[in-house]
Amino acid sequence: MAEKPRPLVAGNWKMNGLTADLAEIAVIRDALAGALGGPDIIICPPATLIAAAAQLCAGSFIAIGGQDCHPERRGAYTGDIAAEMLRDAGASYVIVGHSERRRDHGESDVLVSAKAEAALRAGLKVILCVGETEAERAAGHAPDVVARQLEGSLPSAPHGDSLVVAYEPVWAIGTGVTPTPNDVAEMHGFLRQRLAARLPESSDVRLLYGGSVKADNAAELLHLPAVDGALIGGASLKAAEFLAIAATYR
Ligand code: 13P
């Protein structure tokens, strides 16, 4: 059995955050300065704050990520952002395939895979999201749905270290409802098997859980053997709550 990878706690700010909110990132940076042995930390602010956040975190071990990228390097794509631009602004990760983009922007697995490829080409690491809706779970299709999303959205031949997969059941996002630890363990075990079948180096791929993670449920959801960390939405916006979640790994 391969050694468990270092845990990862990532914050997805979604469409939240103005310049004044960079102060939260500074609090997180200062609180974690010199804290060896904790989890890896990534913050994915909106694109407008990436360069400033990266500057704030330069020299710290907090990495900055984007929330989406376009598959092309450049061109006539009004409003879009290339992976190279995220990298240029100081990001080292990017989220692709978040359910809000799949739902609100009609993103298919093929498109998500192309975005993941673009991210790797630009030297970014990829946080690939998968997760079933409530109706899909109720119909007993959750494993099929996440397996199809995973297999359809993976970039070809990622190095294990360049890929993170986040299991985010859609019905748990922003609702305060979470799966049971048993359900999370089961789905993560299933995803781990699927990854191993597809990628030889997948033992380095970290499998995050996301969906209503808060300081008061973090310990029971994140310390399962099959879980390597968390992707946090609402609770990542305030430094104190985010730090309390990260502290469960100390
Ligand atoms: P919440 O933590 O707000 O439920 O959001 C989870 C999420 O979508 C992170 O990407």
Handedness of CA 173, 179, 183, 189 (dihedral sign): positive
| Residue 174 CB less than 6 A away from ligand 1 | yes
Per-residue pLDDT, 177: 97
Kindly state the tokens that stand for 160: 């294990």
| Residue 65 CB less than 6 A away from ligand 1 | no
Average pLDDT across the chain, whole number: 95
CA 75 to mean position of chain CA atoms: 27
Mean pLDDT to the nearest integer, 12-40: 93
Burial degree of 3 (CB within 10 A; 0-12, 13-18, 19+)? exposed
pLDDT band at 1; cut points 50, 70, 90 = very low
**pLDDT single digits (tens) 133-142:** 999 999 999 9
User: Model pTM greater than 0.85?
Assistant: yes
- The residue assigned the tokens 């990760």 is 93
Per-residue pLDDT, 232: 98
Per-residue pLDDT, 2: 60
Q: Which amino acid is at 195?
A: L
Mean pLDDT to the nearest integer, 116-140: 97
Mean pLDDT to the nearest integer, 35-49: 92
Q: How far is the CA of 222 from the centre of ligand 1 (A)?
A: 14
**pLDDT single digits (tens) 161-188:** 899 999 999 999 999 999 999 999 999 9
Cβ neighbour number for residue 200 with a 10 Å cutoff = 9
**pLDDT single digits (tens) 207-240:** 999 999 999 999 999 999 999 999 999 999 999 9
Per-residue pLDDT, 114: 97
Handedness of CA 193, 199, 200, 205 (dihedral sign): negative
Whether 168 is a known active-site residue: answer yes
Ligand 1 atom with the shortest distance to the CA of 231: 9
Per-residue pLDDT, 145: 98
Probe target for ligand 1 pocket from 43, 101, 102, 232, with the most ligand atoms within 8 Å of CB: 232
Residue 203 scores a pLDDT above 90 = no
Residue 247 scores a pLDDT above 60 = yes
Q: Which CATH superfamily is domain 8-16+66-238 in?
A: Aldolase class I (3.20.20.70)
Whether 98 is a known active-site residue: answer yes
Q: Which range has the worst mean pLDDT, 4-8, 35-39, 213-217?
A: 35-39
Q: Where along the chain do its domains lie?
A: 8-16+66-238
Residue 159 scores a pLDDT above 50 = yes
Residue 125 pairs with which residues in a beta bridge? 93
**pLDDT single digits (tens) 63-112:** 999 999 999 999 999 999 999 999 999 999 999 999 999 999 999 999 99
